[in-house]
Amino acid sequence: MSPAKYRKGPDRRRRAALRRYARVLRGRGFQRIAGADEAGAGPLAGPLVAAAVILPRGARLPGVDDSKRLSAAERTHWATEIRRLAIAWTCAHISAAEIDEIGPYQGSLRAMERAVAALEPAPDYLLVDARHLPGLSLPQEAFIGGDGRHLAIAAASVVAKDHRDALMCAMDLRYPGYGFVQHKGYGTPAHLAALERLGPCPEHRRSYGPVRRVAEAQARLF
């Protein structure tokens, strides 16, 4: 399908702003500038997914923006384009069980650190959405709302979200009845109703309140 069909992303001024800081960094001598972001810290079920992306100079991705601004079809289209054009890209997963053990914040850091560490070639500078990654030694900057401010972070957010959505669609086949293909594990009314009816599946995060309450109620019955 033509990219024009999906061109509901940032206008020309915002596209220029998304690219501007990468030009500044290249002027300082950095060439492999990675962006990192995660998707799935909030859902009640499924993995947390992080992506890291290194884009080449001059990459043309006119529809790429913060993944939350794009439709599912737009995300899939632009995720494919990002993977095609990228110098390097990776995804890393944190399982529901691992999130229960360390929490979503530490899980986000760990997933992004894994994704960045797996990039080949390695980046020489890192732009991260919202938080620094203490487990990495390379130069880095964190930006609140970074997925709407820097193209490399926006690209990582699109790849992470698209990849996680695909994992949740596959999970829907393994655990039918929860509606994962529709809500992707978020706590929608339909998901909460299914959770009450079926109880938690192995991919539910038992440290999250709604899941914990259902699991505890079931345990009292036996």
Other residues' Cβ atoms within 10 Å of the Cβ of residue 164? 25
Would you state the pLDDT for residue 58? 87
Per-residue tens of pLDDT for the chain, all 222 residues? 444 454 455 667 767 778 888 999 999 999 999 999 999 999 999 999 999 999 999 888 999 988 999 999 999 999 999 999 999 999 999 999 999 999 999 999 999 999 999 999 999 999 999 999 999 999 999 999 998 889 999 999 999 999 999 999 999 999 999 999 999 999 999 999 999 999 999 999 999 999 999 999 988 886
Looking at the structure, do residues 155 and 217 belong to the same domain, yes or no? no
CA–CA separation, 206 and 216 (whole Å)? 10
Record the tokens describing residue 75, joined without a space: 């995300």
Under a CB-based contact definition with an 8 Å cutoff, are residues 214 and 195 in contact?
Answer: yes
Domain of 185 in residue numbering reads as 177-221
Looking at the structure, do residues 98 and 132 belong to the same domain, yes or no? yes
Looking at the structure, do residues 55 and 155 belong to the same domain, yes or no? yes
Cα-trace Rg, the chain: 18
Tell how far CA 116 is from the center of its chain. 13
Other residues' Cβ atoms within 10 Å of the Cβ of residue 126? 26
Q: Calculate the CA dihedral of residues 166, 167, 171, 172 and round it to 10 degrees.
A: -20
Looking at the structure, do residues 154 and 47 belong to the same domain, yes or no? yes
Residue 80: which CATH number? 3.30.420.10
Other residues' Cβ atoms within 10 Å of the Cβ of residue 206? 16
User: pTM for the complete prediction?
Assistant: 0.92
Looking at the structure, do residues 32 and 126 belong to the same domain, yes or no? yes
Would you state the pLDDT for residue 183? 98
Looking at the structure, do residues 188 and 214 belong to the same domain, yes or no? yes
Looking at the structure, do residues 102 and 209 belong to the same domain, yes or no? no
Looking at the structure, do residues 52 and 146 belong to the same domain, yes or no? yes
Count of domains observed in the chain? 2
Looking at the structure, do residues 13 and 42 belong to the same domain, yes or no? yes
Looking at the structure, do residues 131 and 210 belong to the same domain, yes or no? no
Would you state the pLDDT for residue 220? 82
Under a CB-based contact definition with an 8 Å cutoff, are residues 62 and 7 in contact?
Answer: yes
Looking at the structure, do residues 138 and 194 belong to the same domain, yes or no? no
Looking at the structure, do residues 144 and 163 belong to the same domain, yes or no? yes
Q: DSSP labels for 58-115?
A: T---TT---GGGS-HHHHHHHHHHHHHH-SEEEEEEE-HHHHHHH-HHHHHHHHHHHH
